[in-house]
Amino acid sequence: MGYLIEYAKSDRSTCKGPKKGCVSENHTIAKGSLRLGVETDINGTNRVTWRHWLCTTPKVLANMREAMTEPEEIHGFDTLKDEDQERIRAAWSEGELPQDEEAEGKGSQGEEEEAASSKDTESSKKDDK
Ligand SMILES: [Zn+2]
């Protein structure tokens, strides 16, 4: 079992992360988005399932940390932009993604609005276009 990370080469892959809270409404991974691939061997056939990097759960991070000693071992890691490598290293050491990463495209970060985050219920307010 291996892990890959890259910028999506097409917009045809689908995010296999948790449905609720996915950064994309229809779970499509847009071309150019940072995505994490999990390689599994199914009856000798290698398959990769993709998810948005932003949809990487603490569980997946934990699995990765068991499989590898450092994020640099993820295939493709060294091809990423420095800032993305930093994000991954940070998530790796934290064991989860920073909350405010999920609010893509918001230039400002801050911890306000943490108010009613009952995570396990319906906290995914999609981007209303
Ligand atoms: Zn997703």
Parallel, antiparallel or unpaired: strands 28-29 and 2-7: unpaired
Q: What is the Å distance from ligand 1's center to 129 Cα?
A: 18
pLDDT at residue 98 in the model: 82
CA of 29 relative to ligand 1 center, distance in Å: 7
Annotated domain spans of the chain? 2-94
Whole-number pLDDT of residue 87: 96
Superfamily of domain 2-94: Zinc finger, PARP-type (3.30.1740.10)
- C-alpha of residue 56 to centroid of ligand 1, in Å: 8
The predicted pLDDT at position 42 comes to 85
Could you read off the pLDDT of 112-128 as tens digits, one per residue?
444 444 444 444 555 55
CA–CA distance, 119 with 101 (Å, rounded to integer): 15
Interatomic CA distance for residues 60 and 95, integer angstroms: 9
Give distance in angstroms: CA of 37 to centre of ligand 1. Answer: 12
pLDDT, position 86: 96
Q: Could you tell me the distance, in angstroms and rounded to a whole number, from the CA of residue 97 to the centre of ligand 1?
A: 13
User: What is the 46 CA–ligand 1 centroid distance (Å)?
Assistant: 22
Q: What is the pLDDT of residue 114?
A: 43
Q: How many helices (H) and strands (E) does the chain have?
A: 2, 5
Q: What is the CA radius of gyration of the chain?
A: 15
Ligand 1 centroid to residue 28 C-alpha, Å: 7
H/E run at residue 93: helix 82-94
Q: Could you tell me the distance, in angstroms and rounded to a whole number, from the CA of residue 90 to the centre of ligand 1?
A: 19
Alpha carbon of 1 to ligand 1 centroid (Å): 21
Per-residue pLDDT of the chain (129 residues; tens, 9 = 90+): 799 999 999 999 999 999 888 999 999 999 999 999 999 888 999 899 999 999 999 999 999 999 999 999 999 999 999 999 999 999 999 999 987 655 554 444 444 444 444 444 444 555 555
